[in-house]
Amino acid sequence: MAVNFQKTKEMVMGPPSLVIIFLPIQSSIGNIEQVSSVKLLGLHLDANFSWRSHVEAMLSKATKHLYFLMLLKHAGVPCAQLQHFYVAVIRPILENAAPVWHHLIMNCHSDQIEAIQKRAINIIHSPTHGMPYSNTLHFAGLTSL
């Protein structure tokens, strides 16, 4: 089996204060690139075990879908259909592999994820603007992420 040096990456994991700086792995054919984060099976992993890059990528992807949800709302799609779109398309993005990472994220990241859901509910159900988040969830019949 041959190693493809263009696709192979090396990541040294651990807290920045404890990680020793290693020289890149070299071969007569080429060098293996060292990276500080990598996407593996849909998860963005950081070398310092932070989930910041994963949460940022997830929020970016979900925000793009929120724009499409808003376009559907302006096109006159009924609220029930909009909520079905949210539950079928956007919420799975926010919950992807959550058992792996959710208990390890900081509160600010959790709040950002919940803010995406609140924005979606506000798009779907106009009367929820200004409501507390718990009331918004109850109005939409959804649970907290």
Query: Residue ranges of the domains in the chain?
Result: 1-35, 52-140
Q: Which amino acid is at 45?
A: L
pLDDT in tens, 110-138: 899 999 999 999 999 988 888 898 999 99
Dihedral sign (CA 66, 70, 71, 77): positive
Mean pLDDT of 11-18: 73
- Token pair for residue 140? 């939409």
pTM: predicted TM-score of the whole model, two decimal places: 0.78
Which range, 16-20, 63-67, 141-145, has the best average confidence (pLDDT)? 63-67
Among residues 66, 143, 36, 59, the alpha carbon closest in space to that of 105 is found at 59
- Token pair for residue 76? 């006159």
CA–CA distance, 36 with 58 (Å, rounded to integer): 18
pLDDT at 57: 92
pLDDT in tens, 79-100: 999 999 999 999 999 998 888 8
pLDDT at 29: 73
Extended strands (E) in the chain = 9-10, 33-34, 37-40, 43-46
Contact partners, residue 129, CB within 8 Å, separation at least 6: 122
